[in-house]
């Protein structure tokens, strides 16, 4: 029970990796704020947790909107009074060459994937006394493909942000790490038009959301007390294949 009574905020917890992480943290005693823009998915995660006698609340939040992020943090503080764990997991992709990409599309990816990480950290860290933050990056931060440049850029920047923030606090107060998944069996993977069309073929193992949740929960728990400012690549060896 690594998360007993710990207040855990998880973005994008209505599906995939975020949902698996929410279920695992709740199963280990955490009080989970399920943050998602999609109410069906988010409420389904909360129902699953509460049906199993766990504790969870839903916050309908578009992480691309600063005022929504403030509201989500307020919900956690009003209900539970503090924040122990933050998982920045929600993200989006575009599938265009950069010359075809509008400024609005670029800005939206950066707001959802990167600015949200800054804002959640900015608003949560003052309320964390022995906190842990896990940011969900991607193998695309290290080896990418064509036509997903905003996504890859946002994940690369996230890893640099992660290293920088780890220097601003003693690890006794805050640890911040990234998990970089490979191909994981979630809607995000199968909705990728490059994969749907067969243009991009996945070689190697496809991970289960629970396998990512295991790594995220490790980094968010005291088990990882000596791990800070780094990225754990959880990709079944995919980066060796690329």
Ligand X SMILES: NC(=O)c1ccc[n+]([C@@H]2O[C@H](COP(=O)([O-])OP(=O)(O)OC[C@H]3O[C@@H](n4cnc5c(N)ncnc54)[C@H](O)[C@@H]3O)[C@@H](O)[C@H]2O)c1
**Residues tagged active-site:** 151
Q: Alpha-carbon distance 107 to 119, whole Å? A: 15
10 Å CB burial of residue 119 (0-12, 13-18, 19+) is: buried
Task: Give whichever of 28 and 211 is closer to ligand X, judged by the CB atom.
Answer: 211
Q: Alpha-carbon distance 89 to 180, whole Å? A: 11
Q: Are 120 and 33 in contact (CB under 8 A)?
A: no
Task: Give whichever of 169 and 214 is closer to ligand X, judged by the CB atom.
Answer: 214
User: Shortest distance, CB of residue 118 to ligand X, whole angstroms?
Assistant: 14
User: Shortest distance, CB of residue 212 to ligand X, whole angstroms?
Assistant: 7
User: Shortest distance, CB of residue 197 to ligand X, whole angstroms?
Assistant: 16
User: Shortest distance, CB of residue 132 to ligand X, whole angstroms?
Assistant: 17
Chain positions contacting ligand X, by CB under 6 A: 11-12, 14-18, 36-38, 41, 61-64, 89-92, 112, 136, 138, 181, 183-184, 186-189
Task: Give whichever of 70 and 171 is closer to ligand X, judged by the CB atom.
Answer: 70
* SS3 per-residue string spanning 42-79: HHHHHHHHHHCCCEEEEEECCCCCHHHHHHHHHHHHHH
Q: Are 213 and 21 in contact (CB under 8 A)?
A: yes
Task: Give whichever of 169 and 210 is closer to ligand X, judged by the CB atom.
Answer: 210
């Amino acid at each position: 029970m690594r998360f007993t009574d710990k207040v855990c905020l998880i973005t994008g917890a209505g599906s995939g990796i975020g949902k698996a992480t929410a279920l695992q943290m709740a199963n280990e005693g955490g009080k989970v704020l399920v943050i998602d823009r999609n109410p069906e998915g988010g409420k389904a995660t909360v129902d699953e947790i509460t049906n199993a006698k766990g504790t969870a609340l839903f916050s309908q939040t578009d992480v691309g909107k600063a005022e929504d992020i403030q509201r989500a943090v307020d919900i956690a503080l009003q209900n539970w009074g503090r924040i122990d764990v933050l998982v920045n997991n929600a993200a989006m992709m575009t599938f265009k060459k950069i010359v075809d990409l509008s400024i609005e599309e670029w800005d939206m990816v950066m707001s959802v994937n990167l600015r949200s990480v800054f804002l959640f950290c900015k608003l949560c860290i003052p309320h964390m006394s022995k906190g842990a933050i896990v940011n969900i990056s991607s193998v695309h931060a290290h080896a990418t493909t064509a036509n997903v440049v905003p996504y890859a850029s946002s994940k690369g920047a996230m890893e640099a942000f992660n290293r920088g923030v780890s220097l601003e606090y003693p690890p006794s107060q805050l640890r911040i790490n990234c998990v970089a998944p490979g191909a994981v069996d979630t809607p995000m993977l199968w909705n990728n038009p490059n994969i749907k069309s067969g243009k991009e073929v996945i070689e190697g193992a496809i991970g289960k959301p629970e396998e990512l949740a295991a790594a995220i929960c490790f980094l968010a728990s005291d088990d990882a007390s000596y791990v800070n400012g780094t990225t754990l690549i959880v990709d079944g060896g995919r980066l060796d294949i690329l």
